[in-house]
Amino acid sequence: MKISDHKQVWFIAGSQHLYGLETLNKVATNARELTESLDSHDKIPVTIKFKQVVTSAEEITEICRKASVDKNCIGVVTWMHTFSPAKMWINGLKILTKPLVHLHTQFNRKVPWSEIDMDFMNLNQSAHGDREFGHLLSRMRKNRKVIVGHWKSDWVITQLNSWMRAALGWHSMQGMKVARIGDNMRDVAVTEGDKVEAEIKFGFSVNGYGVGDLIKAIESFDDQQVKKLIEQYAEEYLLSDAVLKSNSLKKAAGIELGLRAFMKDGGHDAFTTTFEDLHGLDQLPGISVQRMMADGYGFGSEGDWKSAVLLRTIKVMDEGLTGGSSFMEDYTYHFQDDHSMVLGAHMLEICPSIASDQPKCEVHPLSIGGKNAPARLIFEVNAGPAINVSLVDLGNRFRMVANKVQVVNPEVEIPKLPVARVLWEPMPNLEISAHSWLLAGGAHHTVFSKAINIEIIEDLAEMAGIELLVIDEHTNIRDFKHYIHWNEAYYQLFQNNL
Ligand code: MN
């Protein structure tokens, strides 16, 4: 399934003139067949287009220049069918700004033992042609994803799928607009950060708006429009007559109409709110934020623009996948001898894309913020694998921290908790996971996803040239401390190259 009509990945096969026209024609035929086969696979989410066989420095520079400025090209796959002296690639790679895959494959799966001769050997040289290319990429410190395997194998398809999704996410970050409604929750450290550096590094911009701008948008809708939206709530969620007729729900629906209009008018893909700045709003936006996340908007509470961007990016990357992705917070622990767990939730703003069943819509007071009782959606989340991802600003660089977790079905009812929640067991266990997370300086806010896996995050970090610390079934504290110390040196040495 293709998840975008326009976006493309370009396929470029490397060769050289030495072999003669017949061999080069064969290289082109094979490369085209390989590309078309990949493109027709139902697990390849973006059109992959064969561009050309390149045989000279001029051709390589030209195709890299075109790829870098083409607004629909989200990345480039390269493969050396034959030997392609890599100095020819230097000027092209210097100007290539799009994510890169080095596909190390071979047209034939097996050696044709009874027929193999030197013509065959000359045509099928990826084994050393790609080594020459790999050397240059390493020499140039060029970030790329290496995929090794036969092009018809599930492994190659899976790896390409992951990289293409990451490339879509990276592409979406370029020019992404984030509205910060109100500022930061006062005195909080981790939700702050260098927004200018972030724009230089990732391509998205974060700009502040007064709550008054939102109020103006809310006031532009009349009672009839609010009533219509409440009818929609009644169709989509379980709610009592009292809630249906409540003033709170009416106000919440008004906020949703205004917020959507505000976001659309400004061309924003993500936004933040803060409960300390709700002047003129009846209540903290709850159901509106939840529903907008489900429609693909990024969101972070308390001014958390980094989580808002990350959620929007993950929403782009998880399109067409099942499981959903949401803003999340590690809220409270359930310690037990083994299998200790985390109860994840937020004051209100968890995305219903991760809900196991039809959400309930309820109205309850909020103990902080001093506003009226907000409407919210309440639900649980089915058991299964998931990840938590956090993006933080360390002062001299950005770091992502990702943890593999296993969502667990609660064994008992949780009747008095009026928010959406998820129960999970982090890998390798809560003690090592939380210990590592604290050492890494990961945030209390995360993006939780049942739809995407760590590999996609890994590919995204590679494209952005930022640090990623993964906490999974293999993590141990001693090694993790070393990674943190080594990375400190590495990112200082190479910060201008990444
Ligand atoms: Mn929070």
97 and 123 part of one domain: yes
- DSSP, collapsed to helix, strand or coil, labels residue 364 as coil
User: Above pLDDT 70, what percent of the chain?
Assistant: 99
Instruction: Write down the pLDDT at residue 497.
Output: 54
What spacing in Å lies between the alpha carbon of 231 and ligand 1's midpoint? 30
Strands 8-14 and 445-449: unpaired
Going by C-alpha positions, the residue among 489, 397, 16, 341 that lies closest to residue 193 is 397
Query: The tokens of 465 are what?
Result: 């040239």
182 and 164 part of one domain: no
What spacing in Å lies between the alpha carbon of 345 and ligand 1's midpoint? 9
123 and 58 part of one domain: yes
What spacing in Å lies between the alpha carbon of 431 and ligand 1's midpoint? 22
What spacing in Å lies between the alpha carbon of 263 and ligand 1's midpoint? 22
To which residue do tokens 């390589």 refer? 60
436 and 311 part of one domain: yes
Instruction: Select from 142, 173, 204 the last residue of a domain.
Output: 173
pLDDT band at 19 (very low <50, low <70, confident <90, very high): confident
Measured N-to-C along each axis, helices 247-266 and 211-219 cross at an angle, to the nearest 10 degrees, of 110
Asked whether residue 496 carries a pLDDT value surpassing 60, the answer given is no
The span from the CA of 421 to the CA of 409, in Å, is 11
More confident position, 369 or 14: 14
Instruction: Select from 173, 204, 236 the last residue of a domain.
Output: 173
Instruction: Write down the pLDDT at residue 338.
Output: 87
What spacing in Å lies between the alpha carbon of 191 and ligand 1's midpoint? 9
pLDDT band at 2 (very low <50, low <70, confident <90, very high): confident
Residue 1, in any domain of the structure: no
pLDDT, mean of residues 393-419: 96
According to DSSP, residue 82 is labeled: S
Instruction: Select from 173, 207, 239 the last residue of a domain.
Output: 173
Asked whether residue 408 carries a pLDDT value surpassing 70, the answer given is yes
Question: pLDDT tens for residues 195-243?
Answer: 999 999 999 999 999 999 999 999 999 999 999 999 999 999 999 999 9
Q: Please, are residues 134 and 86 in contact by the beta-carbon 8 Å criterion?
A: no
Residue 3, in any domain of the structure: no
Residues with Cβ < 8 Å from 222, sequence gap 6 or more?
A: none
What spacing in Å lies between the alpha carbon of 128 and ligand 1's midpoint? 52
What spacing in Å lies between the alpha carbon of 300 and ligand 1's midpoint? 8
Instruction: Write down the pLDDT at residue 284.
Output: 96
The span from the CA of 311 to the CA of 331, in Å, is 18
Residues with Cβ < 8 Å from 470, sequence gap 6 or more?
A: 402, 403, 404, 454, 458
* CATH number for the domain that contains residue 132: 3.40.50.10940
What spacing in Å lies between the alpha carbon of 188 and ligand 1's midpoint? 10
What spacing in Å lies between the alpha carbon of 309 and ligand 1's midpoint? 15
395 and 273 part of one domain: yes
Instruction: Write down the pLDDT at residue 369.
Output: 77
16 and 107 part of one domain: yes
What spacing in Å lies between the alpha carbon of 240 and ligand 1's midpoint? 28
267 and 152 part of one domain: no
pLDDT, mean of residues 341-368: 96
Virtual torsion, Cα 150, 154, 160, 164, nearest 10 deg: 160
Residue 152, in any domain of the structure: yes
Q: How many domains would you assign to the chain?
A: 2
pLDDT band at 494 (very low <50, low <70, confident <90, very high): confident
428 and 491 part of one domain: yes
What spacing in Å lies between the alpha carbon of 122 and ligand 1's midpoint? 60
Asked whether residue 414 carries a pLDDT value surpassing 90, the answer given is yes
Mean pLDDT, rounded, of the chain: 96
Beta strands, E only, 121-251? 145-148, 177-181, 205-209
What spacing in Å lies between the alpha carbon of 457 and ligand 1's midpoint? 22
Residue 301, in any domain of the structure: yes
What spacing in Å lies between the alpha carbon of 260 and ligand 1's midpoint? 22
Residue 58, in any domain of the structure: yes
Question: pLDDT tens for residues 110-138?
Answer: 999 999 999 999 899 999 999 999 999 99
What spacing in Å lies between the alpha carbon of 162 and ligand 1's midpoint? 30
What spacing in Å lies between the alpha carbon of 477 and ligand 1's midpoint? 27
What spacing in Å lies between the alpha carbon of 391 and ligand 1's midpoint? 14
138 and 185 part of one domain: no
What spacing in Å lies between the alpha carbon of 312 and ligand 1's midpoint? 17
Asked whether residue 108 carries a pLDDT value surpassing 80, the answer given is yes
pLDDT, mean of residues 31-37: 98
Residue 2, in any domain of the structure: no
Asked whether residue 43 carries a pLDDT value surpassing 70, the answer given is yes
According to DSSP, residue 410 is labeled: -
Q: Please, are residues 300 and 349 in contact by the beta-carbon 8 Å criterion?
A: no
188 and 161 part of one domain: no
Q: How many CB atoms lie within 10 A of CB 142?
A: 15
The span from the CA of 129 to the CA of 10, in Å, is 20
Give the range of the structural domain holding residue 86, as residue numbers without chain letter.
Answer: 8-173
206 and 150 part of one domain: no
Strands 421-426 and 445-449: unpaired
Instruction: Write down the pLDDT at residue 412.
Output: 93
Question: pLDDT tens for residues 63-106?
Answer: 999 999 999 999 999 999 999 999 999 999 999 999 999 999 99
168 and 194 part of one domain: no
Residue 59, in any domain of the structure: yes
User: Above pLDDT 90, what percent of the chain?
Assistant: 95
Q: Please, are residues 432 and 474 in contact by the beta-carbon 8 Å criterion?
A: no
What spacing in Å lies between the alpha carbon of 307 and ligand 1's midpoint? 10
